[in-house]
Amino acid sequence: MIARNEEKNLPRTLESVRWADEIVIVDSGSVDRTPAIAQSFGAHHSFNRDFKGHPEQKTIAIGKCTSDWILLLDADEVVSPGLAKEIQETIANPRYEAYWVPRLNLFMDRWIRHGGFYPDHKLRLWRRGSAQMETGVGPHGTPQYDGPQGTLKHDLIHYAYPSFENYLSHMNDYSTENVAVLVERGKARSLAGFVRLALLNPAATFVKNYFFRLGFLDGVAGLIYHLNHSVYVHWKYVKAWEARKRPE
């Protein structure tokens, strides 16, 4: 995993993987107790303050692993007991070289189970050397593997956004990290493109996720989440538009 100032999340996360043969953490510059907590769990903790993006940092962490199988985690994720047992049984007699894991996400006080956000499948488990991180694509680059892949059944628990303030902070960071990629791809280059991507696309995203994907079944938290997810989409393209128009 990668981390920065995760002293609140890290004990819960590391406790859930005590069974692992090794724990590798690459830190982009924590100034809290993250290093001490990592070391207390026997993790191999190292610093790389030259943070070029989430996928790039994860590539460095993956490169430091020495075990036969890799389980990629974020510092705010917890391996449920059922998933831990399933992983250990799977790699003891694997049918595939890579596996998708269902993820259950917390937003404020609600576990989001509708709106296209559950099961939030992520490719997180693979035989070392068989998958590579997708880089140069913004904050949400994922592991890439071309061969046959399996899917596990038990959830990875993601304490994603325990407060609205936390959500806004993350979305602001993620939308900023997307800017270079969007500009390079020529997104929102024209006024018509800006209107489509920054205005119509967020509205369509809300309608699809909240109504057609039944996001309204998650109550008030679902309404807040899907409204603000659409705002996040809007932010990405506004920031790209601003960066494109900014003088060199």
C-alpha torsion 149→139→227→115, nearest 10 = 0
Label each residue of 210-243 as H, E or C.
Answer: HHHCCHHHHHHHHHHHHHHHHHHHHHHHHHHHHH
Query: DSSP label at 207?
Result: I
pLDDT at 247 over 70: no
* Whole-number Å distance between alpha carbons of 82 and 155: 8
Alpha helices (H) along the chain: 10-15, 34-40, 54-63, 81-92, 164-184, 191-195, 201-206, 219-245
Instruction: Give the pLDDT score at 61.
Output: 98
Q: CA nearest 232: which of 117, 155, 143?
A: 117
% of the chain with per-residue pLDDT over 70: 99
Token code pair at residue 45: 């903790």
Span 65-120, pLDDT tens digits: 999 999 999 999 999 999 999 999 999 999 999 999 999 999 999 999 999 999 99
pLDDT in tens, 163-219: 999 999 999 999 999 998 999 888 878 889 999 999 999 999 999 999 999 999 999
What residue has token string 């959830």?
A: 155
pLDDT on residue 188: 78
For 219, left (φ over 0), alpha (ψ -120 to 50), or beta?
left
Using an 8 Å Cβ cutoff, are 188 and 237 in contact?
Answer: yes
What percentage of the chain carries pLDDT values higher than 90? 90
* Domain edges within the chain: 2-160, 164-245
CATH: 3.30.565.10, 3.90.550.10, 3.40.50.920, 1.10.10.60. Which one for 2-160? 3.90.550.10
Residue 200 DSSP symbol: I
Ramachandran area for residue 130 (φ above 0: left; ψ -120 to 50: alpha; else beta): alpha
Mean pLDDT of 225-242: 96
Q: How many CA atoms lie within 13 A of 211 on its CB side?
A: 6
Q: Residue with structure tokens 């900023």?
A: 176
Residue 190 CB-density burial (10 A; 0-12 exposed, 13-18 middle, 19+ buried): exposed
Query: Can you read off the two tokens belonging to residue 234?
Result: 């809007």
Distance between the two ends of the chain, CA-based, in angstroms? Answer: 36
- H helix or E strand, kind and range, residue 105: strand 103-107
